[in-house]
Amino acid sequence: MAVGNPLGLQSSVTEGIVSAVGRTVSEGNGVTIADAIQTSAAINPGNSGGALVDLNASVVGIPTLAAVDPQLGGGAAPGIGFAIPSNTVRDIAGQLIANGGKVTNSHRAYLGVRVASVTGGGAVISSLDPGGPADKAGLKVGDVIIQVNGTDIPNASALTSVLATLKPGDVAKVTVIRSDGSQQTANVTLGQLPGG
């Protein structure tokens, strides 16, 4: 059950089933949620941020995102919502409390680039963090990332989704097309996504 205040209606409850755990979903604004819980309990403005509870009244997650259907013009896809697992919330909240509002260990991989989608496919590196993982591996501004660990990268959002499945310390094989048209694969040791 998802509990919250949708449309200002206090203590409203929607019910559903958990279809899957460990989903990786993108919000469409460049934010990707890893290890999400998929539920058919309706997620509406006002109950996102509430509680997703099981029948024993244990909090299992925090409702966060309703899926959208591009074929419906970006309208909500009925019966598909996502919640952040309670273990993730507990970990991040504990860090925020202990470290004056800062996350010190996001557990998320960091490539150290800013990218944009490219017509024809790929994600072009528009800037690099000096000394970051991509910079250390020899990637350059203007390189177009086309694959990570053999997974095609058709756009910038796909890169974010792939990175969300990796962990700091993992070595990723990043294949790029250089400005001269040549293709190169670099082994990038992923860093820790900065938090705070």
Each residue of 81-95: pLDDT tens digit? 899 999 988 888 888
Dist. CA 80–CA 63, nearest whole Å: 11
Q: How confident is the model at residue 194 (pLDDT cuts 50, 70, 90)?
A: low
Exposed, middle or buried, 141 (CB in 10 Å: 0-12/13-18/19+)?
A: middle
Say if residues 80 and 67 touch (Cβ distance below 8 Å).
Answer: yes
pLDDT, residue 135, reads 96
Strands (E), 44-189: 51-53, 59-69, 75-85, 109-110, 113-117, 123-128, 144-148, 151-152, 171-177, 183-189
Lowest mean pLDDT of 4-13, 16-25, 55-64, name the range: 4-13
CATH 2.40.10.10, the chain: domain bounds: 2-98
Q: How far apart are the first and last CA of the chain?
A: 31
The mean of the pLDDT values for the chain is 87
Q: What percent of the chain has pLDDT over 90?
A: 45
CB 75 within 8 Å of CB 69: yes
Under DSSP, the state recorded for 41 is S
Tokens read off for 8: 């200002």
pLDDT of residue 196: 43
The CATH architecture one would assign to domain 109-192 is Roll (2.30)
By percentage, how much of the chain surpasses pLDDT 70?
92
Taking only the tens place, the pLDDT of each residue in 109-161 is 889 999 998 988 999 999 999 999 999 999 999 999 999 999 999 988 889 88
Residues of the chain with CATH 2.30.42.10: 109-192
User: pLDDT at position 38, please?
Assistant: 94
Task: Say what the pTM is.
Answer: 0.66
- The tokens 């040791």 sit on which residue? 189
What is residue 134's predicted lDDT score, i.e. its pLDDT?
A: 96
pLDDT higher than threshold 90 for residue 190: yes
Strand-strand pairing, 18-26 and 12-14:
unpaired
CA 11 to chain centre: 29
The arithmetic mean of pLDDT across residues 57-78, rounded, is 80
Q: Which CATH architecture has domain 2-98?
A: Beta Barrel (2.40)
Output the DSSP codes for 181-196: S-EEEEEEE-EEPP--
